[in-house]
Amino acid sequence: MTAQLSTPFTEQFGVRYPIVQGGMQWVGRAELASAVSNAGGLGMITALTFPTPADLAVEIERARTLTDQPFGVNLTILPTIAPPPYDEYRKVIIDSGVSIVETAGSNPEPHLESFSPHGIRVVHKCTSVRHAVKAERAGVDAISIDGFECAGHPGEDDVPGLVLIPLTVRAVTIPVIASGGFADGRGLAAALALGAAGINMGTRFMCTAEAPVHDAVKRCIVAAGEHDTELIFRPLRNTARVARNAVSTEVVRILADGGEFADVRELVRGVRGRQVFESGDLDAGIWTAGLAQALIEDVPSVADLVERIVTDAAESLRGAMDMFGAPGRPTEEPA
């Protein structure tokens, strides 16, 4: 039987285990989000995976046919060539009765003005302590803090989770979810020991049976090591960690040689990344992957993965405690 695990996050957000599925473009669909929620975690549908707000509404309803457990919607605002109608996506989230939202990419205050009056709890993803403090002051309900190990956008400070997580826990009073580099029970145990109230996983959930990506992508993640990612857009101060392939290495080369975004625009188009996940052509475009891929060795069901993580975390923490003497045990005096 899976161990019981209660933290401030599980209590506040109504889930059994403090394990959150990260918002992932093209991957955060109903089948994955519902599987995570059914397993006791918090699944996330990624709003901008869907071309229109109406399509998002359909996906939310599809998720409701697959789970009766809480799930959320990720809404990320990042610089794009053609900004989507964010106000309309927010309205769909509200009208659909979604009770949990993960925001990312910019100041959460405009989101809160829409969501808070409807009792929607907001987890804000950020990459620095200063942004976490600002988000708490704005009124978010929890922080998801991204260490430098994460897939996607790790910010520009390059602070790894081992330092960033306890710094954030010390700086805010709301629950902190640790993100970036998490893939197993040892990681969950470490996050809890650092003061976090749970973990967020993207790459690990992408490599599960229910993830709606081509098997070739999953096999690539299993085979990959800690050196098999690229940091693109660094000269543009918009760093993104993606899988290393022919396209991402070319993007790095062009920008390192003095190129500008216009010189790589066609290489990094989102539709090309979607093609990777749908066709299995690993060099069709750029696609996100975190350093956690080095820890991934299989493609389990989401239910098996979550149970394994919780069980292994409990064993790891018990094993660590066994290294200490029993409380109150008298120390023998030397003869």
Residue 327 has a pLDDT of: 61
Residue 78 has a pLDDT of: 76
- Residue span of the structural domain in which 255 resides: 229-279
Give the three-class secondary structure for 136: helix
272 and 176 in one domain? no
Residue 325 has a pLDDT of: 72
Would you say residue 333 has pLDDT above 80? no
Give the three-class secondary structure for 202: coil
176 and 48 in one domain? yes
247 and 193 in one domain? no
Tell the burial category of 75 from Cβ atoms under 10 Å away from its Cβ (0-12, 13-18, 19+). Answer: buried
> Is 320 part of any domain?
no
Closest C-alpha among 101, 106, 104 to residue 60: 101
Tell the burial category of 106 from Cβ atoms under 10 Å away from its Cβ (0-12, 13-18, 19+). Answer: middle
Into how many domains does the chain fold? 2
Q: pLDDT per residue over 223-277, tens digit each?
A: 999 999 999 999 999 999 999 999 999 999 999 999 999 999 999 999 999 999 9
> Is 327 part of any domain?
no
Residues in the chain: 335
What is the value of pTM for the model shown?
A: 0.94
247 and 107 in one domain? no
d(CA 150, CA 164): 12
| Residue 196: how many other CB atoms lie within 10 Å | 28
185 and 44 in one domain? yes
Q: pLDDT per residue over 74-133, tens digit each?
A: 999 876 767 899 999 999 999 999 999 999 998 999 899 999 999 999 999 999 999 999
